[in-house]
Amino acid sequence: MANTSKGAIVGLGVTPMGRIYGRRAVDFAAEAIALALEDAGLQKSDVDGLLINANIPNDMLPGAQMTLGLENLTLMNVMSAYGSTGGSMMQYACMAIREGLANTVVLVYADAPLTPSRGAGQSYAGPHRFPLGGMTGLKAAYGDFGANLGYAMAAQRHMHLYGTTEDHLGTIAVGQRQWAVLSPWAQMKAPMTMADHHASRWIAEPLRLFDCCLVSNGAVAIIVTSVERARDLKQPPVHVLGYAQCAPGDNASTARHPGVETGAKRSGEAAFRMAGITRADIGSCQLYDCYTYTVLVTLEDYGFCAKGEGGPFVADGKLGPGGALPTNTGGGQLSGYYMWSFTPMSEAIVQARGQGGARQVANNDFTLVSGNGGILNYHSTLIFSPHAGG
């Protein structure tokens, strides 16, 4: 028997995603919040808490609460631990509700970096993001732009140490595309073969285009409330049974092995302990997938296989439809939509409710959710369930 619920998710709003131009991030946020309120059967006036996920363009700031028309908030903040933020926001929302700071908390991620004239990579990590002053200028002088290189270096190290191959990474991309084909929300709907993966262009070797996430304009909003109140609302509640975080430390110290050893290990152990369950109880994983490699290393650090065995572990296609460990069942950020940790959280909510349609997994008792930020520098873990536990 699992431990008791720490909080309940009662609303989910997901806007159309992708190359949707001419709208600001905050306008996508308003749409997502309206959709989430409608989904929950709640009114705007019920909202007394707002946690905003800081985005890279930094255009989702505290003033967004006024643009959104929210009033008398007793919990309000913009939070940032990059791609792990959503998991952290969920944790603080649950704690704040239990402490009585607020009763109905909206979590939102919104972003609109894509423009008609720029490719996804340039939109997200172009030279406008890299100042030249001091040591920061060194990165630019070496041509070290964006996250692609950092993850490519991590994957290269893993390949060197453990023999991980391009096929291993490709299996993850192909499996997630198979899931995306089944999801009405996914941006990428064309089937992908291993040959398609290997034919996609290099971004930063050893990562190809199909190893990298999408960039999306859009927003996701999630509404959290108390376990008691959730019972009377429109949707089947999704309970938050376990959560944790871990930021493992400095990449620049040779005493650490960043890229191959992540915060997922400590964060995962703590989240399982809080939930009172084990890996064997997990029906599906919704893992932060900025790159195929991130999924592989996260599975290792969560203990689904030994360190270094992530490649052989995924090679049989167990992450895809019909596999033994369904993972990123909405296509993830590789093929679904790129909303940082709101991508895995949103899909986990759909699965825990049993509303996944063609992509619904058979065992939705416990869903494991990860968030990851920086170059594997920040990690958050959540465990969702339709059961309140206890």
Partner 1 sequence: MSQSATKPVPVPDEASTPFFDGAREGRLMLQHCAGCEKWSFPVRERCPHCMGAKLAWRAASGRGTLYTFAVMHQVMNPGFAADVPYNVSQIDLDEGVRMVCNIIGLANDQLRIGMAVEAVFEDLGDGVSIPKFRPVTG
Does residue 144 interact with partner 1 by CB under 8 A?
A: yes
Among residues 92, 124, 302, 338, the one annotated as catalytic is 338
Q: How far is the CB of 132 from partner 1 (least distance, A)?
A: 5
CA distances from 216 to 36, 109, 211, 255 (A): 19, 11, 16, 37
Kindly tell me which of 116 and 133 has the beta carbon lying closer to partner 1: 133
Nearer to partner 1, 228 or 250 (CB): 250
Is 338 part of the annotated catalytic residue set? yes
199 binds partner 1 (CB under 8 A): no
Q: How far is the CB of 121 from partner 1 (least distance, A)?
A: 6
**Considering beta carbons, is residue 142 or 184 the nearer one to partner 1?**
142
Is 250 one of the binding residues for partner 1 (CB under 8 A)? yes
**367 contacts 283 by C-beta, under 8 angstroms:** yes
- Cα 198 to Cα 71, 192, 206, distances in angstroms: 51, 10, 11
Smaller CB distance to partner 1: residue 132 or 306? 132
- Does 56 help bind partner 1 (rule: CB under 8 A)? no
Q: Measured from the CB of residue 357, what is the shortest distance to partner 1 in angstroms?
A: 36
Q: Which of 147, 152, 173, 224 binds partner 1 (CB under 8 A)?
A: 152
| Given 83, 86, 175, 206, the residue binding partner 1 (CB under 8 A) | 206
Query: Rule CB under 8 A: is residue 259 a binding residue for partner 1?
Result: yes
Stretch touching partner 1 by CB under 8 A, among 78-86, 153-161, 223-231, 311-319: 153-161
| Tokens matching residue 126 | 């172009």
Strands 367-373 and 284-286: what pairing? parallel
Distance CA 339, CA 346 (A): 9
Residue 228 touches partner 1, criterion: CB under 8 A: no
Q: Which are the contacts of 383, defined by CB distance < 8 A and separation ≥ 6?
A: 240, 241, 242, 243, 271, 272, 274, 275, 277, 366, 367, 368, 369
Sign of CA dihedral 96, 98, 101, 107: positive
Kindly state whether residue 138 participates in binding partner 1, applying the rule CB under 8 A.
Answer: yes
**Interface segment toward partner 1; rule CB under 8 A; list 19-27, 244-252, 303-311, 319-327:** 244-252
Q: Which residues are bridge partners to 127 per DSSP?
A: none
Asked if residue 207 binds partner 1 (CB under 8 A), the reply is yes
For residues 126 and 317, which CB has a smaller minimum distance to partner 1 in the complex? 126
Question: Is residue 146 near partner 1 by the rule CB under 8 A?
Answer: yes
109 is catalytic: no
- 3-state DSSP assignment of residue 65: helix
Q: How far is CA 385 from CA 71, 197, 205, 304, 362, in A?
A: 31, 34, 39, 19, 13
Marked catalytic residue, from 288, 293, 302, 378: 288
Q: Which of 67, 77, 80, 122 binds partner 1 (CB under 8 A)?
A: 122
Annotate 177-195 with b (16+ C-beta within 10 A) or e (fewer).
bbbbbbbebbbbeeebeee
Q: Does residue 117 belong to the site contacting partner 1 (CB under 8 A)?
A: no
Backbone angles phi, psi at 98, to 5 degrees: -65, -30
Binding-site member from 132, 195, 306, 358 for partner 1 (CB under 8 A): 132
Shortest distance (Å) from residue 118 CB to partner 1: 11
Q: Minimum Å distance from CB 143 to partner 1?
A: 5
Give the pairing type, strands 105-111 and 238-246. unpaired
Residue with tokens 């997630």: 176
Q: CA 114 to CA 121: how far, in whole Å?
A: 9
Q: Is 215 in the site for partner 1 (CB under 8 A)?
A: no
Q: Catalytic residue numbers?
A: 288, 338
Interface contacts to partner 1, rule CB under 8 A: 121-122, 125-127, 130, 132-146, 148-149, 152-154, 156-157, 160, 201-207, 250-255, 259
